[in-house]
């Protein structure tokens, strides 16, 4: 935890209703590593996400789908614990925030409509619920991005280092690096997929790596007022995507990632280009 850094705590909640207005499901997009629990916990656990879903599903009577946001540098304030009660407390905290946002939504098919002003001590604007037909626009695109890699040793070189290494911590890191190099190949670039969907007035972007939160904050700022959901670690994984300015720091994300500086910015530009294209009128 770094109290000097600002963390993106944006919560995006979607509600799925049937024609009668009954809730059929909720979608929760939030960015935080599920790392409340660590080595002292010997149970299989969904971490904070489990209690979040239980809280929401108990109140709504409908399934809850969780989408992990761009959380490359975001984690619980207290983490690496063996106390499952701590993970459940975090989950309930998030779940109650989801229920609060659901409670603030208007009924399905309704919006506030301006009815005029009533003259009093000041002109009073009158807004009432009125019928609303949401957009049914549905578009999607997948694009493969050629992401530049750092100057990495080849797979054969990594395996030779691993075989000669006697330090168990270093050996574990080399084994992880081996897995990444094996999946990406020995080239200077790696093909990484990006999916972008337009769902009515909302946008959804997903990609395989651990992008830092700049990915989602930059997309939301550029695509406002659209609701923008972002998903990390979609259909695979290779490494972190920190901002280019972080590559001068001595941090795990920087030396773990196989991607060269500028990868996050390339991903963001590509996602914005696709989003603008999907938003153009037919």
Number of residues assigned to the chain = 282
| Amino acid 192: pLDDT | 96
**In a shared domain, residues 87 and 57:** yes
Q: What is the DSSP string of 55-111?
A: HHHHHHSS-EEEEE-S-TT---SS-SBS-HHHHHHHHHHHHHHHHHHHHTSPPTTEE
Is 162 a domain residue? no
Is 179 inside any structural domain? no
User: Are residues 232 and 123 both part of a single domain?
Assistant: no
Task: Please compute the mean of the pLDDT values over residues 135-151 and round it to a whole number.
Answer: 95
Q: Are residues 51 and 145 in the same domain?
A: no
The predicted model gives 124-132 an average pLDDT of 96
Place 58 in a pLDDT band, splitting at 50, 70 and 90. Answer: very high
Q: Is the pLDDT of residue 22 over 90?
A: yes
Q: Is residue 199 part of a domain?
A: yes
Residues 121 and 204 in one domain: no
Let me know if residue 97 belongs to a domain. Answer: yes
Question: What integer is the mean pLDDT of 49-76?
Answer: 98
| Domain assignment present for 156 | no
182: helix, coil or strand?
A: helix
Query: Residue 259, exposed/middle/buried by CB under 10 A (0-12, 13-18, 19+)?
Result: buried
Residues 74 and 204 placed together within one structural domain of the fold: no
Q: By C-alpha distance, which of 112, 93, 105 is closest to 14?
A: 105
Position 203 pLDDT exceeds 80: yes
Residue 233 covered by a domain: yes
209 and 258 within one domain: yes
List residues bridging with 14 in a β-sheet.
Answer: 27
Number of independent structural domains in the chain: 3
Q: Judge whether 98 lies within some domain.
A: yes
Q: Is residue 74 part of a domain?
A: yes
Q: Do 99 and 228 fall within a single domain?
A: no
pLDDT in the model for residue 185 = 87
Average pLDDT of the chain, as a whole number? 95
Residue 27, pLDDT above cutoff 80: yes
Residues spanned by the domain of 214: 138-149+188-279
Same domain for 215 and 228: yes
Residues 25 and 93 in one domain: yes
pLDDT for position 263: 97
Residues 240, 195 share a domain: yes
Are 126 and 145 members of one domain?
no
Could you say which DSSP state residue 266 is in?
A: H
pLDDT, one tens digit per residue, over 162-201 is: 999 999 999 998 898 888 888 888 889 999 999 999 999 9
Same domain, 124 and 238: no
Distance, CA of 133 to CA of 178 (rounded, Å):
52
CA-wise closest residue to 79 among 142, 12, 33, 144? 33
């Amino acid at each position: 935890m770094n109290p000097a850094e600002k963390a993106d705590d944006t919560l995006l909640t979607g509600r799925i209703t049937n024609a009668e207005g009954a809730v059929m499901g909720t979608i929760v997009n939030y960015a935080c590593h599920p790392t409340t629990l660590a080595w002292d916990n010997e149970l299989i656990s969904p971490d904070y996400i489990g209690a979040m879903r239980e809280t929401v599903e108990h109140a709504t009577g409908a399934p809850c789908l969780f989408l992990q946001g761009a959380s490359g540098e975001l984690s619980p304030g207290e983490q690496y614990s063996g106390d499952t009660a701590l993970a459940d407390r975090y989950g309930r905290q998030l779940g109650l925030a989801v229920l609060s946002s659901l409670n603030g939504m208007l009924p399905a098919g309704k919006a506030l409509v301006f009815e005029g002003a009533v003259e009093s001590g000041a002109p009073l604007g009158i807004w009432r619920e009125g019928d609303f037909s949401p957009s049914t626009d549905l578009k999607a695109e997948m694009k493969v991005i050629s992401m530049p890699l750092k100057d990495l040793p080849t797979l054969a070189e990594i395996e030779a280092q691993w075989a000669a290494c006697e330090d168990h911590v270093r050996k574990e890191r080399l084994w992880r690096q081996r897995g990444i190099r094996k999946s990406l190949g020995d080239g200077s670039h790696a093909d990484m997929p990006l999916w972008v969907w337009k769902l009515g007035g909302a946008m959804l972007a997903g990609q395989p790596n651990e992008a830092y939160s700049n990915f989602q904050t930059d997309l939301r700022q550029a695509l406002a007022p659209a609701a923008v959901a972002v998903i990390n670690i979609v259909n695979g994984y290779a490494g972190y995507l920190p901002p280019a300015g972080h590559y001068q720091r001595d941090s795990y994300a920087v030396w773990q990632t196989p991607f060269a500086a500028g990868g996050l910015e390339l991903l963001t530009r590509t996602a914005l280009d696709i989003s603008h294209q999907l938003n153009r009128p037919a």
